[in-house]
């Protein structure tokens, strides 16, 4: 039976999912994750990242991501549950916006890797910048201002590239690197996204695709081409340093010989990698208008798929289906939830009990901005409590989770062109039913959890399948691609409690006013 491999290199871990598809047989046959902090401690990460002297400077080693990929392939090669020879195509996804800077030695190195040796040490000489800035970095406000000014203002940048210049986006990060390290920029032959870097290890010279390239402030989001204006506003001779943009569904090349020799993997086709959010769009089955997905991961995101961009969206990306993807992103996601749990010495069951005890927190609100926030823009971190203090554990737990959900619901109103009556929940915290109950009450919508937790890795495997069938002249519709994997499971449905939903409607207005007053 044909197998398809999907990989996801997110902020804190690398996951591989293999799916089996033959007619109506559709199932996940391999699912495994490596956690960067726990499984690759030599890279010294906390939550998958490292920080500079300035807490807003956030980066990770690209060698760590490559190393994780190598170790995952080793696991896959020895997995007893699958026959690796049946893998027909491979795709992947990665945390968005982060960038990898390669020198002139990289292409030849990638093509002639020694299959008898691990990958990481062989990459020692290929980088013109040792560390990669990641999406959590918020140190490019000056460059954002310059890019927006050059493009005619933030609205003009958004109309052209899908988003106003954003601190975590790749273009402003490249501009900062060019300004602060012009010699290293000069030594840079290619700038990758995390996704295209990892794809290049599997298929040297791999392109980017529009889904992840639209998180750079460099691509014309309508034409899916690099925008000359945006490139010029960012750094000199930039286009020659960027990979080509190809369709998300093209097949690139058979798997690089390194992996075939080292792990006896087959010459499976490699399909372009995309960003974790665009990949999750497929992995949650959102291939048409009218459904909202909420991903509760390191970042919390909410997204929809539309034929035309939604006007209230802070980011418009391209969907791997060729449509548009509208997204909002919150920086204070899983790490903030983990913080409040640890702060009060609780386990997740105790958190759940506190959430169930007094929905609405007696009208008290927390703005959960442990770190600087993306939505809305908050540059002075610190949780803001209204009506309670830090001594009250239950009020803090409820305040934080309810605050996150109210922010999601309020801002998500702008990314759907239709009323939201159903939410698909994914990401690590989606396994927590009490959190999903808060979500259902706050959104006043049914919330469904999918069977597969890592929707980005699943989306990658599904994209590999779609591309393979297309190239074999047996195209399958996106609806068919996702069916059997992303159908909402009625057993996992969480419905709103009408009384609580009415209360949250009022509390959401209070939250919105406080948020407006306190952000900036």
How many whole angstroms from its chain centre is CA 251? 22
- DSSP string computed for 32-59: EEEEHHHH-GGG--BTTBEE-SSTT-EE
Distance CA 282, CA 8 (A): 13
For the CB of residue 7, give the shortest distance to ligand XUL in the complex, in Å: 14
Let me know: does 277 contact 96? Beta carbons within 8 Å. Answer: yes
For the CB of residue 327, give the shortest distance to ligand XUL in the complex, in Å: 6
Quick one: 313 or 437, whose CB is closer to ligand XUL? Answer: 313
Quick one: 217 or 441, whose CB is closer to ligand XUL? Answer: 217
Distance CA 61, CA 68 (A): 11
Quick one: 10 or 45, whose CB is closer to ligand XUL? Answer: 10
Quick one: 138 or 434, whose CB is closer to ligand XUL? Answer: 138
Residue with tokens 């690398």: 14
Beta bridge partners of residue 503, listed in sequence order: none
Let me know: does 101 contact 191? Beta carbons within 8 Å. Answer: yes
Q: Vertex 200, ends 274 and 84: CA angle to 5°? A: 85
In terms of DSSP bridges, do strands 269-270 and 87-94 run parallel, antiparallel, or are they unpaired?
Answer: parallel
Residue 513 burial by Cβ neighbours in a 10 Å radius (0-12, 13-18, 19+): exposed
Distance CA 106, CA 111 (A): 9
For the CB of residue 474, give the shortest distance to ligand XUL in the complex, in Å: 32
Residue 138 burial by Cβ neighbours in a 10 Å radius (0-12, 13-18, 19+): buried
Q: Vertex 396, ends 504 and 390: CA angle to 5°? A: 140
Quick one: 163 or 200, whose CB is closer to ligand XUL? Answer: 163
Quick one: 168 or 398, whose CB is closer to ligand XUL? Answer: 168
Describe the chain by its helix, strand, coil percentages, rounded to 5. Answer: 40, 20, 40
Enter the tokens of residue 484.
């059997």
For the CB of residue 492, give the shortest distance to ligand XUL in the complex, in Å: 23
For the CB of residue 37, give the shortest distance to ligand XUL in the complex, in Å: 16
Quick one: 21 or 429, whose CB is closer to ligand XUL? Answer: 429
For the CB of residue 465, give the shortest distance to ligand XUL in the complex, in Å: 23
For the CB of residue 329, give the shortest distance to ligand XUL in the complex, in Å: 4
Quick one: 168 or 384, whose CB is closer to ligand XUL? Answer: 168
Phi then psi for 328, rounded to 5 degrees?
-120, 145
Residue with tokens 């609100």: 365
Q: Helix (H, G, I), strand (E, B), or coil: what is residue 98?
A: coil
In terms of DSSP bridges, do strands 25-35 and 50-51 run parallel, antiparallel, or are they unpaired?
Answer: unpaired
For the CB of residue 49, give the shortest distance to ligand XUL in the complex, in Å: 11
For the CB of residue 166, give the shortest distance to ligand XUL in the complex, in Å: 8
Enter the tokens of residue 2.
């044909």
Quick one: 8 or 70, whose CB is closer to ligand XUL? Answer: 8
Residues that bind ligand XUL (CB under 6 A): 10-11, 95-97, 135, 168, 215, 275-277, 297-299, 301, 329
């Amino acid at each position: 039976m044909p197998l398809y491999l999907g990989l996801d290199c997110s902020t804190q871990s690398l996951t591989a999912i293999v799916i089996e598809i033959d007619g109506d047989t559709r199932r996940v046959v391999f699912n495994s994750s490596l956690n960067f902090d726990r499984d690759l401690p030599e890279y010294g990460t906390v939550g998958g990242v490292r920080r500079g002297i300035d807490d807003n400077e956030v980066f990770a080693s690209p060698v760590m991501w490559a190393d994780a990929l190598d170790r995952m392939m080793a696991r896959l090669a020895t997995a007893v549950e699958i026959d690796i020879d049946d893998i027909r195509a491979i795709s992947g996804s990665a945390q968005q916006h982060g960038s990898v800077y390669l020198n002139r030695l990289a292409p030849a190195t990638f093509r002639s890797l020694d299959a008898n040796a691990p990958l990481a040490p062989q990459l020692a000489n290929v980088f013109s910048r040792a560390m990669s800035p990641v999406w959590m970095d918020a140190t490019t406000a000056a460059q954002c201002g310059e890019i927006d000014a050059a493009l005619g203002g933030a609205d003009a940048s958004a109309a052209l590239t899908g988003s106003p210049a954003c601190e975590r986006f790749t273009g402003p990060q490249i501009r900062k690197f060019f300004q602060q390290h012009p010699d290293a920029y000069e030594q840079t032959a290619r700038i990758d996204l995390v996704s295209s870097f990892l794809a290049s290890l599997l298929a040297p010279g791999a392109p980017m695709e529009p889904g992840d390239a639209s998180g750079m402030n460099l691509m014309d989001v309508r034409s899916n081409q690099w925008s000359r204006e945006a490139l010029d506003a960012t750094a000199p001779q930039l286009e020659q340093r960027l990979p080509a943009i190809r369709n998300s569904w093209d097949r690139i090349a058979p798997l690089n010989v390194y992996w075939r020799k080292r792990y006896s993997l087959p010459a499976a086709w490699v399909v372009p990698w995309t960003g974790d959010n665009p990949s999750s769009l497929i992995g949650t089955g959102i291939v048409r208008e009218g459904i909202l997905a909420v991903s509760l991961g390191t970042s919390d995101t909410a997204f929809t798929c539309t034929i035309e961009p939604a006007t209230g969206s802070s980011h418009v990306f391209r969907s791997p289906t060729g449509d548009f993807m509208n997204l909002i992103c919150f920086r204070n996601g899983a790490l903030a939830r983990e913080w409040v749990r640890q702060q009060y010495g609780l386990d997740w069951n105790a958190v759940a009990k506190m959430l169930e005890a007094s929905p609405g927190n007696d009208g008290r609100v927390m703005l959960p901005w442990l770190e600087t926030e993306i939505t809305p823009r908050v540059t002075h971190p610190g949780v803001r409590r209204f009506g309670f203090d830090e001594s009250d554990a239950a009020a803090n737990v409820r305040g934080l989770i309810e605050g996150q959900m109210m922010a999601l619901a309020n801002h998500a109103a702008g990314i759907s062109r239709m009323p939201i009556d159903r939410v698909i929940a994914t990401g690590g915290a989606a396994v927590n039913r009490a959190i999903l109950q808060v979500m259902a009450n706050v959104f006043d919508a049914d919330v469904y959890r999918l069977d597969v937790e890592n929707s980005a890795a699943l989306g990658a495997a599904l994209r590999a399948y779609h591309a393979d069938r297309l190239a074999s002249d047996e195209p399958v519709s996106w609806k068919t691609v996702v069916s059997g994997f992303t159908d909402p499971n009625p057993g996992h449905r969480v419905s709103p409690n009408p009384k609580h939903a009415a209360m949250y409607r009022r509390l959401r207005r209070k939250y919105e006013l406080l948020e407006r007053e306190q952000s900036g």
